[in-house]
Structure 1
Amino acid sequence: MKKYFFSAALIALASCMTLTSCSDDDNNEQGGSPSVTNPKEVSFIVTSGDPTTDLTGGVYMKVYNNLTTNKNGETVYGAADAVKSYDSFTQVTYNKNSGIFTGYIYARGASAQGIGSMKAGLRSYKVENGKLTEVGSPVLVTAFGNTGTFGTYSYAAQISQPYSMVVDKNGAGNNISVSLPQYAIDNVNPNISNIVDMGNNQVAMVLNYSNRDSAAVAICDYNLNVKKVIYDNRIGTSVGAMRSVRYTLSGADDNGNVYVFAGSSATDGKVGALRIKKGETEFDKNYQFNIFAVSDGYRFRKAFHISGSKFLLEFYLDKNKYGNMDASGKMAVVDMDTKTLTWVTGLPDASTVSFGWGDGYAGAYYLPVAAPTRMGGGSGNGGGWNHGGNGNHGG
């Protein structure tokens, strides 16, 4: 019986229960139709750290079963039955194709007992007999901003250099030099914002230029060889950031269509989304979603797929403050088919909590919530998972 494991980077108080989120419905690698999964067949990967140590206390990871069962009053950090990493993770991913759970280590969170002080890297895990077991050895990187998965790989892309560390299902890393400098505009190279799996050995590598406010996507194979780069100035640049962390502002729906979002353009009409239809390698000239027009003038920092054609967007709290260090946490669900927006209600006040790395599953989004600890090095978010109705908003 196939299991689906959910992941979210949750950095919470040691006394908090922190549960993960979920992967999208079981899309196959070619972007086919999802199958239905019984929530009782779902497992949680719980990742918990202690913010009082400022990323120096490592993380504990524990696997929970049965999405329908509430877990209250439990502690993961320091638990005897949890697996410890001496290194702290600022981001995590789960690859549903390979079954690999990856923790991304910002240099400030690297321990002398782990990969070594002030070294960034990746650790890979798989679930065996209900516990996480490390796969291979830690893979060191110079730096990273955006992280994610495609095919059977996990990756960490550098912020301002054309390199992406790609790690396979055996934990082996390959630092790929992407031929982005040849696509420089006015002597400015593009940076990698996100890599979206299009299936069939093809990805949409979303790019951003520091000197341009427009969308750019490189169509690549799984070895990140660039086939072509496409541009569109109907929306602004697609990059979400908090300090050194880069957040997702693009993704594929259940039908394999890729959506590229621009959340913080200074030009009102460029705050929105474009589409690359499944099987195509150009922007759909007949599709543009003006999100600014339906959000009452708010801009957003993050965009994550829930299921179907719905995405969860995290908006800035102030209409006039949408920079790298400004606060966000106002949530809305957008339907990319109908071009509608619904504000999420029932969440804690975003000025008093912090939202972690969530994920979508079976029409709902599972959003970690914790005390508003903002740690150095760009972890930006942390939290326990608010299990149950609050914070979970589906279609």
Structure 2
Amino acid sequence: MSKHNYLLTILFALFSTFLLSSCDDDENPAPDGGGDANEGGTKYIITSSPIASDGVADYLLTTDDLSTGSVSTVGNGIEQDGTYRYYVSNNNKFFSLLYGQGNPGAVTTYELNEEGELIKVSDFQSETVQAFAAVEDDILMMKIPRSGDANASWYRVNAEQVQIVGEGQVNIEVLAGNGERAHFTWLTQVGDKVYAPYMSIKGCCGDTFGTNHPDSAWVAVFSYPSMEFERVITDDRISFIGKYFNNGLIEDEKGDVYAYSAAVAASEGEFTSTKPSAIVKLVKGETEFDQNYFFNVEQASGGAYITAQNYIGNGKFLLMMADEKAAYSVGSRLAIADVYTQDFTWVQGAPEATKVVNVTTNNLVDEDGETIHIGITTEEGSYIYQVNANTATATQGIEVEGGRITAISKLTY
């Protein structure tokens, strides 16, 4: 499977705000008995790629409930334009970004109308980007060259205006400062700043993503919205944070920052990092990693590696784990990691890892801070599972017939 097919499952925790509108009790009853009917309704959005053939576009499917029933890609949903699409929500809008593989890509925006129907409200061309995230009222996007041009370009798309309202550049060779290039793995809002972890890559010589610096981690800090560079925070106890097109850093409810390393730095196609797959911490307001905190997940798991994460809440993460290192793919073993207590627990009730074809990383966390909805495709079918962070158990929910789930989100109306 190609690198881009792996990327169909990536990303990151979704950040949605909720727009409440008045409506008649009979027209828009509150879903699942939650809240007053006048508050409007909720629709869950499931993006799914038809299993029947490779290299086909995703469909956007909507449903009222993720815990039961079924939905099909056959004759349903909104087909996306282009094969590789990635998704993020902000300001009660759903953004679909086309990965143009070097060519410009569309940014398509959707929202729910008063009847709860998903409608397209904007569609414009933008540069293909390799990192993006909801930041304040914007979608911040970053185009990062792997070779040639020394400048990465950033763009601010205002989620209300649905248009680019700011842009600029970052010299990634100057930022790296070691003869290589800084390649951002993702972007995360932390307070009023943007934290951008990066890989150090050669960017040349037939070893583009290889590095001569496999045992260090870096986080560039930018002010926002100016994106003025402020500093680099480093740590030599781990390899780089996150992975290519993979969010490895989050801010918790306390304002502390946790970051994971997959320990997959490589050179000439061989993994070369000597550091373990682990989680480190930045205390709120500090500009250096806490040297008294080190969660060795590789050791706690019995030798497995973190490949992706979703933050659920109250210090608990859902980790996608693999028994072997993988630069791009997502592991099919699920675990709950409590970064406050440094407890690690394998999730029970999920499909057997050897039967899993695909696991989503762009998942939906409930407001209770205890439950996350994750898509798992096996040879038998595709289902959304509800994983409880407190009990580390997974419960099978809605079936997505004929499709491989790629992302889960929700909007209100």
Normalising by structure 2, what TM-score? 0.71
| Counterparts of 1:10 and 1:221, CA distance in 2 | 29
Which residue is equivalent to 1:125? 110
| Counterparts of 1:49 and 1:86, CA distance in 2 | 12
Q: Deviations over 1:315-337 (max 9, x none)?
A: 11x3xx31326662111111111
Q: Deviations over 1:115-154 (max 9, x none)?
A: xx9653332222222122323323322x333332221222
- CA gap of 1:55–1:292, structure 2 versus 1, over 3 A, is same
| Counterparts of 1:197 and 1:330, CA distance in 2 | 28
Percent identity over paired residues:
20
The 5 Å alignment of 1:312-331 reads 312-316=318-322, 318=323, 321-324=324-327, 328-331=331-334
1:360 is matched with which residue: 365, 374, 393?
365
- 1:63 is displaced (CA, Å) by 3.3
Which residue is equivalent to 1:203? 194
Determine if contact 2:243/2:328 at 8 Å carries over to the other structure: no
| Counterparts of 2:133 and 2:382, CA distance in 1 | 21
Q: Aligned with 1:334: secondary structure?
A: strand
Q: Deviations over 1:93-115 (max 9, x none)?
A: 222xx22211122237xxxxxxx
1:344 correspondence with 2:347: yes
- 1:206 is displaced (CA, Å) by 1.2
1:102 correspondence with 2:109: no
Determine if contact 2:330/2:359 at 8 Å carries over to the other structure: no
1:370 correspondence with 2:373: no
Q: Deviations over 1:220-268 (max 9, x none)?
A: 1223221111111111111324xxxx22222122222211111124556
> AA paired with 2:285?
G
Determine if contact 1:10/1:48 at 8 Å carries over to the other structure: no
Q: Deviations over 1:253-294 (max 9, x none)?
A: 222221111112455643211112223333223322221221
Which residue is equivalent to 2:125? 139
| Counterparts of 2:389 and 2:183, CA distance in 1 | 32
CA-atom RMSD in angstroms: 3.3
Determine if contact 2:106/2:123 at 8 Å carries over to the other structure: no
Which residue is equivalent to 1:258? 257
Determine if contact 2:84/2:100 at 8 Å carries over to the other structure: no
Determine if contact 1:10/1:46 at 8 Å carries over to the other structure: no
1:75 is matched with which residue: 45, 59, 72?
72
2:283 is matched with which residue: 277, 285, 291?
277
> AA paired with 2:287?
T
Which residue is equivalent to 2:388? 393
| Counterparts of 2:13 and 2:131, CA distance in 1 | 19
| Counterparts of 1:335 and 1:39, CA distance in 2 | 31
The 5 Å alignment of 1:304-319 reads 304-316=310-322, 318=323
1:221 correspondence with 2:219: no
| Counterparts of 2:312 and 2:282, CA distance in 1 | 18
- CA gap of 1:164–1:24, structure 2 versus 1, over 3 A, is closer
| Counterparts of 2:92 and 2:122, CA distance in 1 | 14
Determine if contact 2:133/2:141 at 8 Å carries over to the other structure: yes
- CA gap of 1:77–1:123, structure 2 versus 1, over 3 A, is farther
- 1:156 is displaced (CA, Å) by 3.7
Normalising by structure 1, what TM-score? 0.74
| Counterparts of 1:77 and 1:253, CA distance in 2 | 39
> AA paired with 2:50?
D
1:232 correspondence with 2:235: yes
Greater RCO, CA 8 A, separation 6+ = 2
Which residue is equivalent to 2:80? 85
- CA gap of 1:270–1:176, structure 2 versus 1, over 3 A, is farther
Which residue is equivalent to 2:247? 248
| Counterparts of 1:343 and 1:335, CA distance in 2 | 12
Deviates more, 1:129-138 or 1:286-295: 129-138
Determine if contact 2:15/2:134 at 8 Å carries over to the other structure: no
> AA paired with 1:209?
S
- 1:311 is displaced (CA, Å) by 0.9
Q: Aligned with 2:52: secondary structure?
A: helix
> AA paired with 1:74?
V
2:182 is matched with which residue: 187, 190, 213?
190
| Counterparts of 2:220 and 2:383, CA distance in 1 | 35
- CA gap of 1:176–1:127, structure 2 versus 1, over 3 A, is farther
> AA paired with 1:55?
G
Larger radius of gyration: 2
| Counterparts of 1:24 and 1:153, CA distance in 2 | 11
Q: Deviations over 1:32-91 (max 9, x none)?
A: xxxxx99846531122232434333x3332433356xx4423214532xx3343334532
Determine if contact 1:11/1:47 at 8 Å carries over to the other structure: no
| Counterparts of 2:263 and 2:348, CA distance in 1 | 23
Determine if contact 1:60/1:78 at 8 Å carries over to the other structure: no
Determine if contact 2:8/2:86 at 8 Å carries over to the other structure: no
| Counterparts of 2:65 and 2:70, CA distance in 1 | 17
Determine if contact 1:238/1:263 at 8 Å carries over to the other structure: yes
Q: Aligned with 2:298: secondary structure?
A: helix
- 1:181 is displaced (CA, Å) by 3.0
Determine if contact 1:194/1:205 at 8 Å carries over to the other structure: yes
- 1:24 is displaced (CA, Å) by 7.0
| Counterparts of 1:133 and 1:153, CA distance in 2 | 20
Which residue is equivalent to 2:63? 64
Unaligned runs of 5+ in 2: 1-5, 19-30, 36-41, 202-210, 265-271, 391-413
